[in-house]
Amino acid sequence: YVEHLSVGEPITEVLTITGDGTYEENVPVDGKMAIVARQCHVELALRWVKGYDTKLISFVNTIPTTDGGTHVAGLERAMTFALNDKLAFDEAKKLKKCKDDARATREDIQEGLVAVLKVTVPEPQFRGQTKRELGTPKVQSITYDVVKSGINDWIATGKKSHVNAVRD
């Protein structure tokens, strides 16, 4: 899907990140409140292309979430943190110290990004009747952990030219 959505010259290959996490919810079971363990599966495919537009499409259990939600917030936080960590480290090596103004914003990191995010979670909580935004709070931290780990692995083992192209 990311390949299909990519318009413009690719800067990176298509990167796929998957992972799982669990969380607990307090839900009614047989008329009583009980703590139930829930499994969350995260799937992400992304790439950067030359250009400034960002194309981020998200789903929960195959339902499009056009207004995003907690899973998208986790993705954005993880990408910003992981890439800033790498950029700050490179900058610190060059200058022997890390400058606060060298940090990239979410908008900087998402420039030219094409991404498709899907989470699978039992009984998701949506905000509003239209199911356009995920509201399950615990999904944000699971998505954050999975994406941050995947981006860090990509930076550590991927082609350095791709990381440098995203930075430039």
Please report the pLDDT score of residue 60 as a whole number: 97
- Under the banding of pLDDT at 50, 70 and 90, the label for residue 92 is very low
- Please spell the DSSP secondary structure of 149-160, one letter per residue: HHHHHHHHHS-H
pLDDT tops 90 at residue 132:
yes
Identify which of 87-96, 140-149, 151-160 has the greatest average pLDDT: 140-149
Please report the pLDDT score of residue 29 as a whole number: 87
| C-alpha torsion sign, points 27, 30, 35, 39 | negative
Indicate the length of the chain as a whole number. 168
Report, as an integer, the average pLDDT of 153-162.
Answer: 72
Please report the pLDDT score of residue 155 as a whole number: 85
Residues 137 and 58: their CA atoms lie apart, in Å, by 16
- Asked if residue 42 lies in contact with residue 18, where contact means CB atoms within 8 angstroms, the answer is yes
- Under the banding of pLDDT at 50, 70 and 90, the label for residue 128 is confident
Nearest to 70 by CA among 130, 4, 143: 143
Model pLDDT for residues 4-57, shown as the tens digit of each residue = 999 989 999 999 999 999 999 998 889 999 999 999 999 999 999 998 899 999
- Under the banding of pLDDT at 50, 70 and 90, the label for residue 95 is very low
Helix (H, G, I), strand (E, B) or coil at 133: coil
Kindly give the pairing relationship between strand 55-60 and strand 63-64. Answer: antiparallel
Which H/E stretch holds residue 34? strand 32-48
